[in-house]
Structure 1
Amino acid sequence: MELPEPEPAEMTAPEDHVPHSRDVQAHAASVDAELFETWERFFEYLARYQSDTHQVFRQRTSITAASRNQELATRGDPPVMKLIPTSFDKYYIGFICTYGWSRASRSKEKRKKYFVKSTGCRAQLSATVVWNARALPPAFQVKITNQATIHNHSIGQGVFDNHPGNRRIDDEGVVGFVDELHIAGAKPKLIMQYLMRRTEKDVTLRDVHNLVSKLKEARRGAATVEARLEAVLRAFCSRKRNTATVYVDDAKLEQTITFQTRQMRRFFEAFPEILLVDATHNTNDARYKLFSFMIHDVFGHVRANSHALMENESAECLTDAVSSFKTFNPTWDKIKVIIIDKDFGEMALLRKAFPGARILLCVLHEIKYLRTEMVKKEYGVLDNEKVEDAVDMMLKAKTEDEYTTGLKYLYFVVEGKQTLQEEDAPAPEHPFMHYFHKNWYSCRQMWSSFGRVDIPHLGNNTNNR
């Protein structure tokens, strides 16, 4: 018993809508009508013809009726019967297969192309407004004047249904319901399943993302970014005791925007001892940094306390964020510990703003930075696992003597130097040890356990919560 030949990939994969079989010749049925009273009637027929024959045509070129009449006038005084009525608007429209469309690529060939639509297909169709003397009464009509129906790619129901133009959702009622689903927080996959059941189209996640993006743009309207920002902040501050502050630079451009809810302030009033500070990048199109203050409550949970969108991590922007935080949180002087990243550029600013607090470094970030450095070729560190063991010994050291033991072990692993217990650690010679002393040894009390044994940090060793 012979098994049926499998369908081409483009027949069954909704996402793979581009026909790959470019070495075939697929013949489609020709049109069975030739003349139409108006362009509207022609386009109605073209839509049915494309659906029945599984072809997709796109307009390639056109000539307006006014241009045609002007051309006739330049040839001399044309008879009135030769002038195209303005009701037709177009004199000629040329269509080509959607897979025959080609355009200059703007790609720099740095990333692989997954969807190259053009196959160089030469199938085409054209329609022209002509005088039909046989019509009753004689009149201008739209006539299909040229057609080529041989395609160089496979055609079929699967390819036709999977084409992006045929997957598009045009029903306003369905689109409106999708908008409500998105506002309510529905996931893209749930929206996709609804659209597939409601429209019986092969909708993909990419279609859902594109549709949601258009709906979000429509909700925002044509207002400028500044106008939308003002509207959002005013709506935020309209709620009871929510606060927001906008700081501008000398050019009157927003450099720092801070915001805090009433509930955030209540949590800080109750648990002000531990403050975690972290910055998140690439959260918005304007590339502003999201600078967050977080607190540690009695239940062991970390809660956001205040946020600031900053143009950069300069001293001016950080001063704005800290000033706003202190203004709306009067119990800031009860802060005992502040945990930050090692790459926090303005540590002196925090020390000055919070003189009664001890500043500690995030342990997770320290381990991450050291792992990144030790694998660099210029250091030539061969046994990375032993280096990590030495770092772990220093991290967990309860006294400075234990820390020194871990440091000596690091010297032994990297430089091969053996040091007695009563001897001091040697001077660094290896490039990695120079890096370690420059960046980590001087601040060892901020990340090693022996430097925080007398601090109420509640077990917090990281701000990455």
Structure 2
Amino acid sequence: MWTMSDDDDFVETPPSSEQAGPSSTQQAAPSPASTGLTDTPELTFHLGDQFSSFAELEKKVTAYSSAHFVQLWKRDARTIEAAKKRVGKIASKMSDVLKYHSVKYCCVHGGKKFATKASTRTSSTLKQDCGFRIYLVATQDGSSLEVRSLSLEHNNHAASEALFRHLPQQRRLPPEVQAEAVAMLRLRPDKKLLRERLESSTSNVVTLRDLSNLAAKSKKDNPRNNLQAAVKMLQDNYKATVRLLSDENNELRALFLQDEAMKKSFGDYPEIIFIDATYKLLETRMSCFLVIVEDGNGESEIVAAGLFATEDGDTLRWFFDVFKELNPSWDAIRIVMADKDWKERKVVTELLPQASLHICAFHTLQTFRREVSVRKLGISKPEQEMALDLLQRMVYAQNEDEYLQLYEVFKSSAPKQVLDYFDLNWHNIRHEWVMGLKWSCSNFFNSTNNRAESMNAKLKDIVMRYSSLENFVTDFFCFVHTTRKERSHKGAILLQKKRILKTTDEDYSRYCNLLTPYAFQHVKRQLDRSADMTVDTSNGALLTGACTCAFRVAMLLPCCHVLAARRQLGLSKFDDSLCAPRWLLEHYMESREELLLQESRQPEAVRVDRREQQPALSSHQKFRKASVLTGRIAGVLSEVSTAKFHNRMAVLEALLQHWMNDEEVHLTTEEYPLAPQEKTGSAMGNGESGILCALTPVGFKEAAVIPSSALPSNSAAACASAQMPESVSQAQIAVSIAPDNADCTVINSESHVKATEATCGDRPNPLPATLSIADVKDIKLPQPMRKCGRPKGHSLTVIGIPKKRKRNADRGPFRSLPISEKKNAVLTWLVGSAAAASALNGLEEHEVEVNPALLHCAILDESVDINIAQSYFTDDGWLAVCNTERDDIRPLPTASRRMAVCSQRTSTSRQVERACAKDSSHVYPGIAQ
């Protein structure tokens, strides 16, 4: 019953004894039969119960929930401040410890049902019309909260401990346990093992989704992609030297980082560097560019790293300029290993003129396979295979003479299209990709860029895909420091342990003590070869190490010819002058010890370089610059949903159409709400105004095109954005098209704009302007790109072609196959697959292959019972099978037909069967041997 109280508030009062009947829903407590529980006075509610503070009420509610396995929530509540507007007399008397003037608790499965729309996607809800409620209102004197009405009976759902423990409120972990879980999640453990540990230590139900939510929440709480914080971390925590490059719009173009240990490693081993970039490590889509060297023990070391927003020539030029500035030993670089597809090869040759640029052999073969194709060059398949075979032999040519011999054969046999392609792109740079010619540059037998590829793979094991800038810095230096200290430990063990050799030759021991383990393994093989070798020692050149063999030239270590010459002349084979200093154990250990000391040195101050406005570009430079931008646009489009993709493609097509008409387009964005009937559609206006994407979802930005007649002149339109007042939001900028009478050249492909250096001239290389560290906070990072769809790349092979699903080659033993597969196999062996398909109609005599030379011997295995296929033959057909001469069967695994024999076998035929069954396993792996 509801009555009006003195403070004009409706309250529910308990019915009198005459009014209370069996149909009343207001009960003091549910019966044990209705709930299955026995209530105690302390763990239940009664009408008239009063609570002097809200904390006391919450404590009682929590105890009741735990005892009865129900989750309660505040369905309705009115605070004291809100109640003063309606019941000011009582509310003014209330203490702040009560917090609420009125509050209503309901079961989590009850409460008011919210209306849903018909178009709402399929979902679920906890609401099941449970009638449980506890309603409390402040007393007249405002001293406490009193239970005015209640219903403790649950409807439409079960109340059990097992179900109660799975509710989200009960799964919530204590704050200290959450902090521990977040710390362990940062180590990226197996979530199943972590879930098991947390559940056993807290007795809470913990799901894998709970752990994922914890990890996502920790990412939101931490700052992401804050350039100033990342630079400070690099300086304070890792003592790294940082250089930044920004453009005229104050946007970050590149970041260079190098710590003192990296500088020391490069100074110790500068002869050859490996350069490569890896992608998708940062959510800003900046590429990670690494410079790697080979140390004295044959291991790879990172000596510089960069983050590039775009890999254009100017950015790479700036990177290597900074690298040369910070590393005085840059002029000792003799070889730069890179890929053939690397975009700006000329930058390296210009900035490192003393170095030879080598192309990875793997990427060379990969490029040949991609470019010398039937589709691209219009050649036949046999011509392609012949050309690729000769190209591969040229890649592995040992010297110039061998290469020229192969080249003459190639010119006389390769199609003209292939020869023209090869002469244009490869013949004149053969010293960069022919194996033997690269060895002559002392490349330490590094013919591929596998060191950089391996380093990238290891780095991706530590750095998560699409990390924030801060997480990338932390994980990157975690990888660098771990690798560095592991190798320092290995070096310490080398000094404390003596290597034991099986030979008693003193020269072996002396070389072993002089060289690193990696270098000694090479020299040891040369010592072994020189023991039985005889060489010409008449000119005496070999005694000084003047040997032209591939090993001596490539490794700068004593070769077998030099060692054999010294042995023939009665000299000791040991000579430390024959070994390059980089391979000495003493040099290696000194460099490892100094690396650890370099980590504690203070870094240099951060410098920000700003790229100045460049002069007029040539057509080729314009094309390359535009290609970088269009590539980024394609990357953005590939990540969005299909609806957005088509919408944005329409904008690009309209933009292209106006440019082809020699009209200047000024693109801006506008944000406006949609009518309800427009929210589910998408249209493209083609009217006089030229508006694009007229219907877009609320909150999305629209690109529009306005006729030039409605716009100011060219000069005013060009600077419209710069003159816009600050009060105008970014979503309300005008869009304009202004005609331009200047000549316009349409560029269709890169081949149309390839210009020579004589016409294009040297690329400008303006000196960057140096800014202060205070400007770091004003530099803008590239915007993070959202991931859409499945991760790409997992279904591709190393060269980018779709992976073929591997068929289950091992079908198991023949005896284990189902009877249907056994019959099909035997029929195929006997008559071929085409005739086997029609076997249900009966196989005639002429369909049986009776020539033993064309039949396969897999049918001879003892586990094969050909009688299971007899029902598919006519009488004459089966007779032809049984009359086949088994002794004439050839045990060749390449036969195209199979053969069956009758069940009668002689001792001689069993010997033939065993020999044939051994060969047959190559064709049919399921045959048991």
Instruction: Indicate whether the TM-score tops 0.5.
Output: yes
- 1:29/1:53 contact within 8 Å kept: no
**Equivalents in 2 of 1:452, 1:215: separation in Å?**
51
Structure 2 residues without counterparts, runs of 5 or longer:
1-33, 38-42, 455-929
Confirm or deny that 1:199 pairs with 2:211: no
- Match for residue 130 of structure 1? 137
- Match for residue 396 of structure 1? 396
Q: What is the one-letter code of the residue matched to 1:170? A: P
TM-aligned CA distance change 1:330 to 1:141, over 3 Å: same
Displacement, 1:277? Answer: 0.9
- Match for residue 154 of structure 2? 149
TM-score under structure 2 length normalisation: 0.36
Aligned residues: 399
**Equivalents in 1 of 2:417, 2:335: separation in Å?**
32
**Equivalents in 2 of 1:60, 1:435: separation in Å?**
77
- 1:29/1:149 contact within 8 Å kept: no
- 2:104/2:136 contact within 8 Å kept: no
C-alpha deviations, 1:119-173, integer Å up to 9, x for none?
A: 664446554332568x9x9954255646773456x7754444344443332143x
Confirm or deny that 1:249 pairs with 2:247: yes
- 2:195/2:211 contact within 8 Å kept: yes
What secondary structure is seen at the aligned counterpart in 1 of 2:349? helix
Q: Give the root-mean-square deviation of aligned CA atoms.
A: 5.0
What secondary structure is seen at the aligned counterpart in 2 of 1:464? helix
Identify which of 263, 266, 283 aligns with 2:264. 266
- Match for residue 165 of structure 2? 161
Identify which of 296, 312, 315 aligns with 2:313. 315
What secondary structure is seen at the aligned counterpart in 1 of 2:322? helix
- 1:188/1:205 contact within 8 Å kept: no
Displacement, 1:400? Answer: 3.3
Displacement, 1:232? Answer: 0.6
Identify which of 61, 85, 88 aligns with 1:46. 61
Residue identity over aligned pairs, in percent, reads 19
- Match for residue 415 of structure 2? 426
- Match for residue 456 of structure 1? 442
Where in structure 2 are the equivalents of 1:437-452 lying within 5 Å? 446-449=432-435, 452=438
Displacement, 1:355? Answer: 1.1
- Match for residue 359 of structure 1? 357
- Match for residue 174 of structure 2? 170
TM-aligned CA distance change 1:224 to 1:425, over 3 Å: closer
Does 1 or 2 have the higher relative contact order (CA < 8 Å, sep 6+)? 1
Confirm or deny that 1:233 pairs with 2:234: yes
What secondary structure is seen at the aligned counterpart in 2 of 1:452? helix
C-alpha deviations, 1:205-250, integer Å up to 9, x for none?
A: 55445445655766x5x7982442242133046x4xx422233333
- 1:274/1:337 contact within 8 Å kept: yes
TM-aligned CA distance change 1:425 to 1:451, over 3 Å: farther
Q: Which range moved further: 365-374 or 51-60?
A: 365-374
Q: What is the one-letter code of the residue matched to 2:300? A: V
**Equivalents in 1 of 2:298, 2:329: separation in Å?**
20
- Match for residue 10 of structure 1? none
- 2:110/2:132 contact within 8 Å kept: no
Displacement, 1:464? Answer: 0.7
- Report which of the two has the higher share of strand: 1
What secondary structure is seen at the aligned counterpart in 2 of 1:70? coil
Displacement, 1:276? Answer: 0.9
Where in structure 2 are the equivalents of 1:379-394 lying within 5 Å? 390=389, 392-393=392-393
C-alpha deviations, 1:290-309, integer Å up to 9, x for none?
A: 21111112322111111112
Structure whose CA Rg is larger: 2
Q: What is the one-letter code of the residue matched to 1:43? A: E
- 2:368/2:388 contact within 8 Å kept: no
